[in-house]
Structure 1
Amino acid sequence: MTNTPRKKPPPAPPTDPMPRRVDPCVATLVDKPPKGPDWAFEVKWDGYRLAVRVEPGEVRAITRGGYDWTRKFGSIVAEARQLGHKSLILDGEAVVLDDQGRSDFGLLQRAIGKKPSLHDAGEIIFYAFDLLYLDGHNLQNLPLSERRRQLEPILAGRTGAIRFSEEVDADGEEFFRVACELGLEGIIAKRRDKPYRSGRRPEWLKIKCARHDTFVIVGYEPSTVPGAIGRLLLAARKGEGLVYVGGCGTGWSNQESAKLRELLNAIPADSPAVKLKRKGAVFARPLLVAEIEYRAWTQDGKLRHPSFKGVREMGGPTEVYEIVA
């Protein structure tokens, strides 16, 4: 009887060591969405960028800057242990949603902060939009479409702390218009055929929605540049009075800054028009208004990322932004 020699098992596929750190791909800011079938579109989430790393015996949540925030995102870490894979790296955004389902950075800050909040850390959701490593295989050189094809079944149907950030099958301009109407921060466009590369990249684009409103100028903080303004102090109407909504320190040229300071110095106020204490601030009578572009409101009622667009005399109470209690 002849012994049939045993066939050798096929060699195991090569295993890529998990990278110790992957610097995130960062989207480039542009004015309008790109066109063409090569681009995929997603909602731009307003939160903290995270890499969720699952390894045998350990799960960590690492911020864009490389900080280990595992303890701050306990519900995300707990759910990552249940995804059914020994090792993976998810790229995504941790957010808290408001009553309309929009991500709100102020709510997120309060949820993970020390101050009392109506939202707790258990309400934080991680929207994963990319898969960089899976069970011994580094996926960064694969095109985005393939990375997401492998990511989707891992997260399909999940409605807990970790969810799949869906692509939106729509024309980019139309999607952007609708996103802004809904009060979202903006949209992201990504090339389907490109690998994952760290740093600010042209194959990932961000298009932000901006808000434009008019606010009363109640004073300014001087600049370190002689004769210039460091920050305009702004107010909105609330009831019969004004309420401080923050400072604006960008959007003007050196010449415009000097002219603004001259205008405000010419209408000094005996006392501030709003409840505000600022060392070194120069207060003015509320006779001028500023056109301001901004992204959103913070949780404590201040303008987020305001930029100055112009100034004029107040024409009437209706043109000033009003906060409805």
Structure 2
Amino acid sequence: MRRVTSQDRLRFIPPQLPRLVEEPPVSDDWIHEIKYDGYRTQVIIDWDGARAYTKTGVDWTKRYWPIVAAAESLGARSAIIDGEVIAPTASGSPDFHALRSAMTWNAERLAFVAFDLLHLNGQDLRPLPVVERRAMLWDLVKPADGVIQFSQHVEGGGAEFFRGVEKLGLEGMVSKRRGAAYRSGESDAWLKIKCYEFSEMDLLGVKREPGKPAMALMGRGGKYAGSAFITLPKDIRERLWKRVQAGRKAPVGVPAVSGVEWLKPGVRARVKHLRGEAKLRHASVKGIVED
């Protein structure tokens, strides 16, 4: 481990990012955590006090002042902690929709869920296995029942853990190789597995190109929500094509996309998509809701 002199002001480290996969790893070589629905944040503590940075290194210390104040009371001379800022509900689960409001009007509601420790008291911990870093993190933040919390994990049993996450209605899970070092950027040593959900949305238009799957442009709450593959039986697709309104212009607020045929208003569809995303991801149309 590289030692850092006490005169050095610690700098932001680009975070390690999990790779999105469809299924959780099943071997015992992995640990599994809940994927918290919030903003990835790095908290740095050194002789200059504590600071908080976004995933891209933007200084949000003023926005996260209760978290920064709590970090300064942890007792570390210096530390770099990786985690997620959330707005917990009364039950403790994250409420992403309340997060932006809490940041602006009620920062006391924010919490920081710590899940990794990159630096502690002059030592660069990134070469250590994740399980060792997390043990040191727990010793630093325990009992972790206030503003700064700790992301608990289980060892092995990835499939069972994922079923539990789905049942609780959470966004997903993150799996990490127990012996992996910390490396900035996307890595196969960290995997994220997200839960799917079904939503009923407005079907605004379709894009059909020879040799390619048909795409649907979807709306939700009067706003553009993204696109989804059309995975429907042939007879239902044919009925859908009849709803195309020749010459109709794009609805207000929908980005200009070439080759789109806009539908008559009133068509709704059942869409399968990843949970917890601002725009549709890995989405597919599974059914049409008739008028």
After TM superposition, the score normalised by the length of structure 1 is 0.73
Match of 1:212 among 184, 188, 198: 198
Task: Give the match's secondary structure for 1:108.
Answer: helix
Q: Is the partner of 2:153 in helix, strand or coil? A: coil
Q: In the TM superposition, what whole-angstrom CA distance separates every residue of 1:91-149 from its partner, at most 9, and x where no partner exists?
A: 11111123443222221122124xxx6xx211111011111111111111111111111
Taking the aligned partners of 2:71 and 2:283, their CA distance within structure 1 comes to 43
Query: SS of the counterpart of 1:265?
Result: coil
CA distance in 2, matches of 1:260, 1:57: 66
| Cα pair 2:200 2:271 within 8 Å, conserved | yes
**Equivalent position of 2:285 in the other structure:** 310
Deviation at 1:15, TM superposition (A): 3.2
- Aligned counterparts of 1:180 and 1:99: Cα–Cα separation in 2: 20
Aligned counterpart, 1:112: 103
Larger gyration radius, structure 1 or structure 2: 1
Give the number of aligned pairs. Answer: 274
The one-letter code sitting in structure 2 at the alignment partner of 1:284 is K
Change (3 A) 1:212 1:67: same
Of the structure 1 ranges 158-167 and 203-212, higher mean CA displacement relative to structure 2 is found in 158-167
Encode CA deviations 1:28-51: one digit per residue, 9 max, x unaligned. Answer: 111111022210110001111111
Q: Which residue of 2 aligns with 1:232?
A: 217
- Using the TM superposition, give the Cα deviation of residue 86 of structure 1 relative to its aligned residue in structure 2, in angstroms: 0.9
Residues 221, 231 of structure 1: 8 Å contact kept: yes
**Contact 1:292-1:309 at 8 Å conserved across structures:** yes
- Structure 1 residues 179 and 308, CA gap change in structure 2 (3 angstroms): closer
2:186 matched to 1:186? no
- Conserved 8 A contact 1:186-1:209: yes
Structure 1 letter corresponding to 2:217: L
* CA distance, structure 2, for counterparts of residue 156 and residue 191 of structure 1: 23
Helix, strand or coil for the counterpart of 1:174?
helix
State the distance in 2 between where 1:260 and 1:70 align: 54
The code of the aligned residue for 1:39 comes to: W
Give 1:63-142 correspondences, 5 Å limit: 63-113=54-104, 120-142=106-128
AA in 2 matched with 1:102: S
1:278: Cα distance to partner? Answer: 4.0
The amino acid of 2:285's aligned partner reads: G
- Cα gap change, 1:313 to 1:94, in 2 (>3 Å): closer
Task: Flag the structure with more relative contact order, 1 or 2, with Cα contacts below 8 A and sequence separation at least 6.
Answer: 2
> Identity over the aligned pairs, expressed in percent?
31
Stretch moving more, 104-113 or 277-286 = 277-286
- Paired residue for 2:226? 248
| Contact persistence 2:174–2:191 (CA under 8 A) | yes
Q: Does 1:46 align with 2:37?
A: yes
- Shift in Å, 1:187: 0.5
Deviation of 1:245 (Å): 6.3
Alignment partner of 2:108: what SS?
helix
Once the two structures are TM-superposed, the CA of residue 307 in structure 1 deviates from its matched residue by 5.1
Residue 290 (structure 2) pairs with residue 290 (structure 1) = no
Which deviates more, 197-206 or 163-172?
163-172
Residues 215-257 of structure 1: CA deviation (Å, up to 9, x unaligned): 342x34999xxxxx9972435xxxxxxx64643224369xx9x
User: Is 2:35 aligned against 1:35?
Assistant: no
